[in-house]
């Protein structure tokens, strides 16, 4: 039996596995070397018992997967989502590895999370889940072992609770245990906006390459949380018209352009998009295939599939979410290469982990940079990664996803080869 095939199951891990083998085939990686590259080094599962507001006790399932340790500590987000399982967490950890390696960061990939619906927990319950999850993880994480960050369903506040809980057990403040913290608690300027601004920067690079002027171009963004909302603001700031947005509660479309600041105010007041405007409401299933220049899936995985990939009408597909495009859709998009320019997730949303790396470096040194420095260094790292992906895709006639993954896989492979197999 192949290593890990028994516990890493489900459609999201199947996607990560298929993407890896496609790239391993093009790179000529022999079968005997593949399991060590693909399967996670460690997977931790914990029970997270919590007192609920109604007086009952609930037990949530928590996970952390550390993919490989060849390049340094592991790094990755924490997801709170009702259907989260080990296979999904493992896939996200694998993608994190290729992403960090593509960007030249000294990390292996990790991911973690709790199977819960954060939208249904009170603030006190959310704090209790977060603190108990971190407490259960203390033996397995550390500033030089594994560093957490936010992801779907978590935010700066959750990172502050993680940092505080870890610090209480150490008897001192350890800001460098998590990234994506509020600036007031040792976070860095620019982290909250980093993923969305990075996406907008890379969309700008793609538009330059395609000789598309941003002024008057249109964009649709699926997901209006941290990544989606900041991306919408940053694209609008570059002159694009945001014609469609959605979250898990509502979906709006207006070819004349939506009022992004008004949408932000509504979400700040109500937490979700629902209730904003009856006039512009549209069918969420149709949103991704409406005409636009730039389509940004920035919510969950597997939304672009073999069934809708042929109907996409965008010129640029900027993957803000992790894993939004299935391998079936990739086969369709491969044939539509000259029509749809894909900025693959491990490149497109890498701004988040790049600025998380900057936050970790600043916390370790207790020496902080201003926002302009963070942004300029972010653009440097993303430009280098973008240029490498374009060069590799041109040189080997590869789709952008395969080129990006191949660069990441190669770096991990090189590191584990020179380090050897212990003992
Ligand atoms: P978030 O929890 O802040 O926001 C998620 C948004 O997606 C919410 O608006 C939610 O309503 C919406 N959503 C959920 N299900 C949906 C559905 N079926 N259809 C439409 N909208 C839906 O999460 P986030 O941090 O913005 O993360 C979004 C995606 O970006 C995830 O795939 C995550 O892994 C990825 N990502 C996040 C970061 C980061 O720094 N936060 C970095 C890299 C990648």
CA-closest candidate to residue 48, choices 124, 141, 134? 134
If asked whether residues 208 and 344 sit together in one domain, one would say: yes
Q: How many CB atoms lie within 10 A of CB 157?
A: 16
Q: Is residue 85 one of the residues assigned to a domain?
A: yes
Percent of the chain with pLDDT over 70: 99
| Candidates 41, 83, 99, 111; catalytic one | 111
Inside any domain, residue 342: yes
Same domain? 201 vs 157: no
pTM over 0.85: yes
Residue 133 in domain: yes
pLDDT score recorded for residue 55: 98
Q: Which residue has the tokens 């020496």?
A: 367
- Please name the residue that has the structure tokens 């037990």: 59
| Residue 111 bears catalytic tag | yes
Q: How many angstroms separate the CA atoms of 157 and 160, rounded? A: 5
- Which value, to the nearest 10 degrees, does the dihedral of the CA atoms of residues 283, 240, 329, 334 take? 150
- Close Cβ partners of 337 (under 8 Å, ≥ 6 residues apart): 399
- Domain residues for the domain of 70 are 11-173
pLDDT of 278 strictly over 90: no
CA of 297 to the centre of ligand 1 (A): 9
What's the CATH code of the domain at 94? 3.40.50.10860
- Asked whether residue 330 falls in the same domain as residue 208, the answer is yes
Q: Are residues 83 and 199 in the same domain?
A: no
Q: Is 222 in the pocket of ligand 1 (CB under 6 A)?
A: yes
Instruction: Work out the widest C-alpha separation in the chain, in whole angstroms.
Output: 66
Share the mean pLDDT of the chain: 97
pLDDT score at 228: 98
Do 206 and 150 sit in the same domain of this protein? Answer: no
Residue of 117, 100, 118 whose CA lies nearest to 109 = 100
Instruction: Determine the distance separating the centroid of ligand 1 and the alpha carbon of 322, expressed in angstroms.
Output: 9
Tell me which of 51-60, 264-273, 275-284, 316-325 is least confident.
275-284
Instruction: Note whether residue 362 is domain-resident.
Output: no
Counted domains in the chain? 2
114-149 tens-digit pLDDT: 999 999 999 999 999 999 999 999 999 999 999 999
255, two tokens: 């070819």
* Cα 353–chain centre separation: 8
Give me the mean pLDDT over the 268-272 stretch: 97
Tell whether 163 and 202 lie within a shared domain: no
Domain match, 337 and 206 both: yes
Residue 124 lies in a domain: yes
Q: Give the CATH number of the domain where residue 213 resides.
A: 3.40.50.720
pLDDT at 4: 63
* pLDDT, average across residues 270-291: 94
Do 93 and 202 have their domain in common? no
- Going from the Cα of 229 to the center of ligand 1, the distance in angstroms, rounded, reads 10
The residue among 348, 373, 400 that closes a domain is 348
Element (H, E) at 97: helix 86-102
pLDDT (tens digit per residue) in 52-61: 999 999 999 9
Q: Is-contact 310 340, C-beta < 8 A?
A: no
Q: Whose CA is nearest to atom 4 of ligand 1?
A: 225
Say whether pLDDT at 2 is over 80. Answer: no
Indicate whether 157 and 17 sit together in one domain.
yes
Examine the pLDDT at 83 and tell me if it is beyond 70.
yes
Q: Do 168 and 200 reside in the same domain of the chain?
A: no
**Torsion-angle region of residue 40: left (phi > 0), alpha (psi -120 to 50) or beta?**
beta
Residue 409, domain member (yes or no) = no
């Amino acid at each position: 039996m192949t290593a890990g095939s028994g516990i890493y199951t489900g459609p999201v891990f199947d996607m990560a596995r298929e993407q890896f083998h496609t790239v391993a085939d093009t790179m000529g990686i022999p079968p005997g070397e593949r399991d060590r590259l693909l399967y996670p080094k460690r997977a931790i599962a914990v029970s997270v018992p919590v007192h609920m507001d109604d007086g009952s006790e609930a037990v949530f399932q928590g996970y952390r997967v550390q993919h490989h340790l060849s390049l340094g500590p592991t790094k990755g987000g924490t997801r709170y989502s009702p259907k989260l399982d080990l296979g999904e967490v493992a896939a996200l950890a694998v993608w994190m590895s290729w992403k960090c390696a593509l960007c030249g960061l000294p990390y292996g990939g990790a991911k973690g999370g709790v199977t819960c619906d954060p939208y249904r927990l009170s603030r006190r319950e959310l704090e209790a889940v977060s603190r108990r999850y971190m407490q259960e993880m203390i033996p397995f994480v550390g500033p030089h072992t594994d560093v957490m960050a936010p992801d779907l369903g978590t935010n700066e506040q959750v990172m502050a609770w993680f940092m505080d809980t870890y610090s209480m057990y150490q008897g001192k403040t350890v800001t460098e245990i998590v990234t994506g913290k509020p600036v007031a608690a040792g976070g860095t300027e620019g982290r909250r906006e980093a993923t969305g601004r990075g996406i907008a920067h890379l969309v700008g690079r793609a538009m330059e390459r395609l000789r598309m002027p941003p002024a008057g171009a249109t964009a649709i963004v699926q997901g209006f949380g941290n990544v989606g909302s900041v991306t919408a603001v940053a694209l609008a700031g570059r002159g694009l018209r945001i014609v469609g947005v959605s979250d898990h509660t509502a979906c709006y479309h207006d070819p004349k352009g939506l009022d992004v600041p008004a949408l932000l105010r509504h979400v700040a007041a109500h937490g979700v998009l629902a209730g904003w405007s009856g006039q512009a409401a549209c069918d969420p299933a149709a949103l991704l295939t409406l005409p636009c220049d730039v389509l940004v899936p920035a919510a969950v995985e597997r939304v672009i599939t073999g069934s809708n990939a042929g109907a996409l009408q965008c010129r640029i597909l900027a993957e803000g979410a992790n894993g939004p495009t299935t391998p079936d859709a990739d086969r369709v998009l491969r044939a539509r290469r000259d029509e749809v320019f894909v900025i693959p997730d491990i490149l497109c949303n890498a701004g988040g982990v790049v600025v998380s790396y900057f936050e970790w470096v600043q916390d370790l040194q207790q020496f902080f940079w201003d926002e302009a420095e963070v942004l300029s260094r972010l653009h440097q790292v993303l430009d280098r990664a973008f240029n490498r992906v374009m060069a590799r895709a041109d040189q080997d006639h590869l789709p952008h996803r395969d080129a990006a993954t191949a660069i990441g896989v190669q770096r991990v492979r090189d590191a584990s080869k020179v380090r050897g197999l212990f003992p």
